[in-house]
Amino acid sequence: MNAHEFRESLTLGAPPDGLRSTLAALWWDAKGDWVRAHALVDELESPEGMAVHAYLHRKEGAASNADYWYSRAGSTFRRATLEAEWEALVSSLTGQ
């Protein structure tokens, strides 16, 4: 699935079958279900999972928790806006 197809899937009532948990978390986040999104990445130990986890805590307004997860992710996925960060994560996770 590419980034365009992922964005189009947001019109559906549920995420497409076979999505990795990181993308499913971003899907639920885009649908306004932060709790469900967080549950999908809460236990992930991959850099991608930790990056999505960081984004979700930043969106929640928990800056220090977000900083912890950004540090664990080992990268700088943070963007100026939450929307830009979501897009960067989707692009990265879909290989775009």
DSSP string, 30-93: HTT-HHHHHHHHTT--SHHHHHHHHHHHHHHT-HHHHHHHHHHHTS----SSHHHHHHHHHHHH
State residue 79's pLDDT score.
Answer: 80
State residue 74's pLDDT score.
Answer: 83
State residue 77's pLDDT score.
Answer: 67
68 contacts: CB under 8 Å, gap ≥ 6? 54
For 8-44, how does the pLDDT look when each residue is reduced to its tens digit (9 = 90+)? 999 999 999 999 999 999 999 999 999 999 999 999 9
State residue 89's pLDDT score.
Answer: 95
pTM for the model stands at 0.94
